[in-house]
Amino acid sequence: MHTRLGSSKKMVENLAFSAILSNKRQYNPDFYNWNRVKVRYCDGSSFTGDVEAVNPATNLHFRGARIWLAVMQELLAKGMRNAENAVLSGCSAGGLASLMHCDSFRALLPMGTRVKCLSDAGFFLNTRDVSGVQYIKQYFKDVVTLHGSAKNLPRSCTSRLTPAMCFFPQYVAREIRTPLFILNAAYDSWQIKNILAPRAADPYGKWQSCQLDIKNCHPSQLKVMQDFRLEFLSAVIGLGRSSSRGMFIDSCYTHCQTETQTSWFWQDSPILNRTTIAKAVGDWVYDRTLFQKIDCPYPCNPTCHHRVFTPLDAPPI
């Protein structure tokens, strides 16, 4: 509630649209002339929460699902119901949201609309941290419980698994019927910092230098990260091949690649199979080419833009 991620009062009023949201053809060749809407994020549950009670001490509301529905109703009324093409996309928690709400978004639009979903850096992996603890599993369980998310998670998953497990894309995405594109770094910097080596599992800060810059990683840490990549790829491949599912899994140390111009479409953007992210996604959306590629292991891809953080960057969860 004290940052832009928890309150609209903390958000900037004007937000620059770049990369996949750009209205300049040279920066966004396939989507520059689309109607583009940025749904600001402040609910903490990828728009799945719905709790009637309000915490009297903090006045916190956990009603992300109602925010989602209100936004969709307004957009439909403003003309989205007449769309010929519609893409639901987002990065990080927004990438998770675009995946979780993919089929329900499709159901809002007429049968004749071509609807697709793009999840950027939203494929959070259920795995153990470096101390052997299932940290992220407990964290997601706490989120689902706090927000009352269970009833708003895909029933195709909750009919088989616990609601907490159904917050992980690896257990949900197989059942998504709407065409889905998974864009993710195999060494997702957020996941390395918050799932693989969270502060609770690294009390002495042995991973801090590595997390700030992958070039600082000790060989033993790189081995752990390579194992994480293999587990991540296993989860993605485990979804099964689909003629409608796109995939761009690069070997960059980064997080979110559709909303940054240099990673989306630039002279030196990351390339996989001689293809930029923008072209891979555009070809998939317009049914020109089905892109399903996985990069070779770090440090094989010289086109990667590896993120370098400072100790002052937002602390991990």
Catalytic residue numbers, as ranges: 92, 188, 255
Residue 58 tokens read as 């903090």
Strands (E), the chain: 85-91, 114-120, 180-185, 246-250, 271-272, 275-276, 292-294
The vertex-280 CA angle with 276 and 283, nearest 5°, equals 135
Tokens of 49: 């929460």
Beta-carbon contacts of 218 under 8 Å, excluding residues fewer than 6 positions away, are: 210
DSSP 194: I
The DSSP code sequence of 116-178 is EEEEES--------TTS--HHHHHHHHHHHHHT-GGGS-HHHHTTS-TTGGGSHHHHGGG--S
Going 138 to 140 to 143 to 146, the CA torsion angle's sign is negative
Burial (CB count within 10 angstroms: exposed 0-12, middle 13-18, buried 19+), residue 277? buried
Rounded-to-integer distance, Cα 30 and Cα 175, Å: 28
Look at residues 205, 316, 171, 305 and name the one whose alpha carbon lies nearest to residue 251: 305
Asked whether 297 and 185 are in contact (CB, 8 A), the reply is no
